[in-house]
Structure 1
Amino acid sequence: MLEVKHLAKHFGEKAAVKNVSFQVNQGDAFGLLGPNGAGKSTTISMITGLLSPDEGEISMHGKTMRKHPKFLKQRIGLVPQTIALYDMMNARENLEFWGTVYGITGSALKDNVNWCLQVAGLEDNSKQLVKKYSGGMQRRLNIAVGMIHRPEVLIMDEPTVGIDPQSRNHILETVKNLNRQGVTIIYTSHYMEEVQFLCERLAIMDHGQVIAYGDLNDVRQLAGTLATITIDTQGDLTALVAELQQDLSLKQVQNKEGALVMQSTNAASAVSKAVLAMSRHGLQPTKINVEEPNLESAFLHLTGRQLRDGWDGASA
């Protein structure tokens, strides 16, 4: 549906984006991840037509941004990280204004405004000045503005920054429901749990390049396929560890500060084997913890840093 091919963008001698390619399928919830300065915002700016690429092309339904910018812009919505609202106007007035910018008028505009207010959960506050809104309500209206023309693709750049947990959960559920209704989502975030909750496919960027791309599970397993199992117990673990070390399905079996720690590709089987062996040695588990390979560990493995490292409130 949306294809990004060999994008490159320079600012002076600095290459902000280098040969970036990925494809977003219709109905996708697609995550675009990267630490500060990775090139995400520059890539988004080119996809939305705010910046022109030095090289490469963006296309949608076979039409390119270079030759058919109006066609693509009418089908792409953007929810920027910064709040793009007029705070001396109310929610309805903001939506009506941005709707007319897209050329929507009459009953179509009224219908779209009402739909956006409903989706954002702001129907009861539609006539309240935006400056009196909470941060979470402003974020929700920011999303509604990005949807006023009912885009096929909605690009969301850090939509939950600086808001309370309740508002964050409301926004995540709103995005999930939009995706279920057929809206294709491109989502950037510094919160791994958001991407894991919303997205089935993703690309990870670092230093202006895509360094991982594909299904969530495939990218997650780039950190390895071994789960780490920690079992707390009391008693001497020497004989238990020696026995379990003979099992070739278990890796890195050790006594770590009085707890049994091991790795396996099959966590359930490993826990079962360990508990049975503990019973034979007169030991009882007091706590079992399983850490499966996750997106956070994959990101750290690929980039050498946490997603939030160096974050200053803006993404590049």
Structure 2
Amino acid sequence: MAAVTAAMVKELREMTGAGMMDCKKALSAVDGDMDKAVEFLREKGLAAAAKKASRIAAEGLVKTLVDGDKKAVIVEVNSETDFVAKNADFQEYVAQVAEQAMNTTAADIDAFLAEPWALDTTKTVAEELSSKISIIGEKLSIRRFAQVNAEGGCVVAYTHGGGRIGVLVEAETEVVNDEVKEALKNIAMQIAALRPQYVSRDEVSDEFIAHEKEILMAQIMNDPKESAKPEKVIQGMIQGRISKELKDFCLMDQVYVKAEDGKQTVAQYMQQVSKAVGAPVAVKKFVRFETGEGMQKKEENFAEEVAKQMGQ
């Protein structure tokens, strides 16, 4: 009998969406034959999703939940099509995944998928996902989640575009009232719209700055006019360009989108809020998820799809 390795179990799980133990049992039952193991799981009703494993699930929903002012979670659950993303059953399932993520102690997505499904502890999260794939008829994927615990302040959530973008913002403050939460909601909208990467320049690593300087220096050296300038001038140009970049992707440096004068920065807006509520209010952290971000989306041709289904 062929030995069943962890790598084999992992491969079968990725192919079928079935649980770890089910994959191990299937491989053991068929002497390690991967194709037969897939069939074994399909026969048991555990791998109806196998034929969908190679599809791209880049649509879906981002869901946020907030428990009081102190704890929040954000999840991204993907589907293949926007049509399914708007389906009530799928949306209910995403809400259940968010509830699961709110209470999980898992440190990563693999541990999350392996834990018991809260609504039916005889299944794992991965097994419930596989069941949903069978019912809905598309490849689904729980891509990522993040929890925020605001011990010294509060956390707010914002969802844009019907679940296309979700944002959590954590702030340090001794005052938690409607005015503070409204201000943080404004900041969350800013983050959704302008995609900052950092809260402030303090979070930008020296390695990142050094790498950007190398790129900018190469650009200057490739320009005969700019490369002929004195070294001091070139260094000033590099510093100025880096400063401009930081204004784009550091939240506190960005121009506040609701600024009446078009000049007020987010940092200045937060100073204004702090003065109004009589206590410092500082953005500590944010999380921004956008559905399908960084994934290759499948190009659909409706006429071709219909022809294919009709055997033409």
What TM-score range do you get, normalising by the shorter chain? under 0.3
Higher helix share: 2
- Give the TM-score normalised by the residue count of structure 2: 0.21
Higher strand share: 1
